[in-house]
Structure formats: C-alpha cells, structure tokens
Amino acid sequence: MSEDLHPRADELDNLTALDFVELMHAEDLAAVEAIRPQLRQVARAVEEITTRLGAGGRLHYFGAGTSGLVARLDAAECPATFGVAADLVQAHSADEPDQEDDRRLGIAEATKARLGSSDAVVGISASGRTAYVLGAFERAAADGVLTVAVICNPGSPLARAADVAIEVETGPEVIGGSTRLKAGTVQKLVLNMLSTAVFTRLARTHRGRMVGVVASNDKLRARAARLVADVGEGSTEEAARALDGAGGNPKVAIVMLRRGVTADEARALLAAANGDLGTVLAESRRP
C-alpha cells in the first residue's frame, strides 16, 4: 500500500542527491510496469466507455486531493486534443482536505452532474477508500451508470463497488503516504490510456494524428496546417487556404482537399459518417 513505509525510509536522509533521485527513478519504473497486469481491465473499461459515449453519453471523473487534480488535468486536455465538447469529459474534485471524507458531498456532486444511463463514471483514489468517491459511485449505481475504479490498493471498497476495477499495486511511496508520487503518476497514465483509446475508437483521431485539434494559438495553427497538408495530400499553401475556409477545423479542411468539395459539403460528409474521417476518405484521392 502507498501508505506503508518504504523499505529504505530510514536511509533517505543520508543519501546523496544522485542516490535519492536514482531510487525515485527506480520506483517510478516499477510503478509504470505495475500497470501491465491490469491492461485487460483497462481495455475492458475502454470498450465499455466507448460504447456509452458513442451512444451520446458523457465521461465523468471523480477524485479528491491529488487524484482530483489528476482528473482535472486529463479532462482539461480532451477538448483541445480531440476536438470534443468542453462538457463531454467532466472532472469533479474534492479540493479541500476534509471534503474527501464527505460521502454526502460525493452523492451531491454526482446528483448535480445529472448522470444519465449512457454516462460513465471513473473514480480515482489511491487508497480506494475515499468517501467522496464512494458517494459518487453510490449515486451512479442508483442511476444505472457504468462505474470504473482507478486505484492503487487492491481489494478496496471502491474496487468492490465498481463495474470495472483497475487495481494497480504501486507499493510504498518513497515518502510514506505521498500519493502524488507513484500513485499519482500511475493514475495519470491510466487516464491517458482511457481517454486516448476511447476517443481514437470514436474516430476523434486519424491514423495517430490529432485531426480534432483546436487551433487556438500559433503553435497549434502551425501544427494543424502541417496535418492538413499531410493527410489532405496538398501543399502548405493549399492547406492554409482550406483551413481558413473550414473555420480552422482540420477534418473539414482535409475532406475539402481530398474530396474536392466545399466546406459545407465536407461538413455534411463528415456528419453522415458520424465524424469518422477514415470513412469519408476511404479510397478517395485528390483530383
């Protein structure tokens, strides 16, 4: 358990800086590898969440403390990365220390979220005992919502309450109980897998490319232009003109170039294919 004392705890104060960071690095590597036995559960969660979001549901993260911050980070990255609506992935977090012990707050937050039967709830908790998250699961279960637990303490109450439990046994932290270390790292990696695999399966990417990217600054606009030129099989100048005509939407710009259509026609083709760029581009070539 992450709350247990590390076997080398008594040595830490006397380690050199290099020895200290080497120890932390070794522990981080072991924690990452600890995900491997849970990959089937991660994949199962991906399939279940994909089915629900594909049916119009939303993805909700619930966490407290570090786990809540990790949840907020992953949720915040999804709109810009995948071009999804800002409310499709929502993070609910108990930020004050005493709030994580408040089961009723978790119930209230889940109730406020207006969970639907097509939604999915992911609870993130290093210990698997966080009352706030357990409360959210209680409400989700009452609403018939899929529940997925991401935890670092096998056999916990949260695992027992979940439809899918991803239990990554990271072991004691270098600083006892400091779950921002290995546990926090592992939680972010698992959420990376969940959100990235889900939105790839929902055609929010194309052949490993961020075709849903929101070009909101110079760096992203340049990235979008390169992307459109690559997938759209056009020059940089053609890509820039198509992007401008598409209102900055890379998918629309790519279809414009590859299918030789207007922006409105490209949007209609994408809508008919549920946004799947691969379907629209199947066997298409620029004229």
Show me where the domains of the chain are located. 10-201, 218-281
**How many residues in total does the chain contain?**
287
Q: pTM for the full model? A: 0.94
The residue annotated as part of the active site, out of 77, 138, 169, 265, is 77
Active site residue 77: yes
Phi and psi at residue 18, to the nearest 5°: -65, -45
Give yes or no: 138 in active site. Answer: no
Record: fold of 218-281: Helicase, Ruva Protein; domain 3 (1.10.8)
pLDDT tens per residue, range 161-175: 999 999 999 999 999
Helices (H), the chain: 17-33, 39-54, 66-82, 103-112, 131-142, 157-161, 182-201, 218-231, 236-245, 250-259, 263-272, 277-281
C-alpha–C-alpha distance, residues 188 and 185, integer Å: 5
Torsion sign over Cα 219, 85, 51, 251? negative
Task: Note the CATH number of domain 10-201.
Answer: 3.40.50.10490
Strand-pair partners of 244 = none
Q: Are 210 and 221 in contact (CB under 8 A)?
A: no
Catalytic residue among 100, 109, 167, 238: 100
Q: Which residue has the tokens 């020895």?
A: 19
Tokens standing for 24?
């932390």
Residue 3 pLDDT grade (very low, low, confident, very high; cuts 50, 70, 90): confident
Of the pLDDT bands very low, low, confident and very high (cuts 50, 70, 90), residue 220 is confident
The 10s digit of each residue's pLDDT in 103-148 is 999 999 999 999 999 999 999 999 999 999 999 999 999 999 999 9
